Structure 1
């Protein structure tokens, strides 16, 4: 299978590495990447050779968040178009969340915005100790709405309130305290630690692993569909505010937004 924004690497031991492969764009999330991640998730769920999945990234950045061109295209769409794109991202996150196979993130470099959303649907996150995380949407006059249901569920409301609004970057140890990151290690040991975590699943029955994951999800959560609709509407509302319009305009013109003057 050939992809443009991602790639997969299958090892004989049953561990498949799924790479975000837009290093020239800091692995920013675009429409094509979302669609390809949905497609590859379906493929890997059906692949008997794959027992566990490591999510990694090419280049120096894990994920810079939303692709600038994709965001600019959203800004030019009407309300329905904005909600359609929000639902595209929501569908990608939901499909990764519903993977039957264990999904272990191996994180280095910055992970911002939508990158935090992707990490929030992983079963386990191994991060290098120099990794930086941030939810930067409010700097643009927007809100982390589409990724919100997954991030809040991962962190809990109390922890989410600490990082949802101020757009400040935080390190790997803080991310671990918040519940986003599972294990912090050195950049040199990142690959080894992630491999060790993935290998643990190879000692377990694949069907039992899938059923145990489903059980955990069913016991812990309410249906998310209502939250997705609510967050898509909240984001569409926010796109239409004068703040968002001024923030996006300032961002693309490389000017200071009104609230920072």
Structure 2
């Protein structure tokens, strides 16, 4: 499968998806969003892929919406803009609910929709020089879709500050706010992300990762009693899975297991 705006590679059970519009700072347009969605779906369906790494080619991770794309949106009807918004919504929901772990490797600025992609990833690591933020309000737009996920990720108070001010923050501040997991020097970030991805591939059950991700994504929508009941049901189902049987057997027999 060929793509116009992304690169797709699989090695050692890790699919690396690279946004590849460096001349446009990997800005989003309709085709890039669609290609990214299809690549994510491709990785999800591939039994040889356990972890996905999302990164950008060039100086920026992703600069948000492309200028020409924004100009076109002004000419659209409401229904056309709703359909376009739903395409991005589909991508965001796919990443959030994906049955595999997605890691963002942020080696440049992540702005607006680009920062939205970082928000959706399960784990995110950025270089010190990277700036992140949601600048939509500064151009008369709103960070509508990402707000749904950002509030869940970092809480309402910090989300309000970022979304309402539209200001960019340095990677260190993003880590302090819980937007990303850690700041890694540029010369070490590729190695660090590869190590994290390899650890997930070799040291954790694919079923356990999938079920844990689902649990994290659903508990906030449930009452305490509903959440506990849902957790108990997942617990019981997981105990009957082959991965759990293998894992417990290896633990009891003091044997090393490679997943």
Q: Which residue of 2 aligns with 1:219?
A: 219
- Taking structure 1 as reference, are residues 221 and 192 closer, same or farther at Cα in structure 2, changes over 3 Å only? farther
Kindly indicate whether the alpha-carbon contact (under 8 Å) linking 2:97 and 2:217 is maintained by their aligned counterparts in 1: no
Using the alignment, how far apart are the partners of 1:208 and 1:31 within structure 2?
Answer: 34
What residue in structure 1 maps to residue 247 of structure 2?
Answer: none
Residues 64 and 113 of structure 1 are in contact (CA less than 8 Å); yes or no, is this contact kept in structure 2? yes
Aligned to 1:9: 9
Contact 1:116 1:151 in 2 (8 A): no
How far the C-alpha of 1:153 sits from its partner, in A, is 1.8
TM-score (norm 2): 0.82
Question: How big is the shift at 1:146?
Answer: 2.3
Taking the aligned partners of 1:220 and 1:200, their CA distance within structure 2 comes to: 28
Asked if 2 retains the 8 angstrom alpha-carbon contact of 1:136 and 1:167, the reply is yes
Deviation at 1:131, TM superposition (A): 0.5
Contact (CA 8 Å) 2:54, 2:105: kept in 1 or not?
yes
Stretches of structure 2 lacking an aligned partner (at least 5 in a row):
223-259
Equivalent residue, structure 1, for 2:54: 55
Once the two structures are superposed, residues 18-44 of structure 1 have per-residue CA deviations (whole angstroms, 9 ceiling, x without a partner) of 111111111011101111111112111
| Separation (CA, whole Å) in 2 of partners of 1:47 and 1:85 | 27
Compute the displacement of 1:99 (Å).
1.4
The alpha carbon displacement at 1:221 in A equals: 3.7
Q: How does 1:146-157 map to 2 (within 5 A)?
A: 146-157=145-156
- CA distance in structure 1 between the partners assigned to 2:123 and 2:85 by the alignment: 25
- In our comparison, the structure showing a higher alpha carbon Rg is 2
Mapped to 2, the partners of 1:142 and 1:98 lie a distance apart of 26
| 1:70 matched to 2:46 | no
Residue number in structure 1 paired with 2:205: 205
3-state SS in 2 of match to 1:59: coil
The 2-side partners of 1:134 and 1:28 are apart by 14
TM-score (norm 1): 0.82
SS of structure 2 residue aligned to 1:76: coil
Matched residues in 1 for 2:85 and 2:10: separation?
31
In 2, Cα distance between equivalents of 1:90 and 1:76: 20
- Please list the CA deviations of residues 112-171 of structure 1 after superposition, one character each: whole Å capped at 9, or x if unmatched: 000111111100001101111121111111211122212222221110111112222110
* Alignment RMSD: 1.2
The whole-number CA distance in structure 2 between the counterparts of 1:67 and 1:137 is 13
Secondary structure in 1 aligned to 2:74? helix
Query: How many corresponding residue pairs?
Result: 221
Deviating above 4 A after TM superposition, structure 1's stretches of 4 or more consecutive aligned residues are: none
2:6/2:18 contact within 8 Å kept: yes
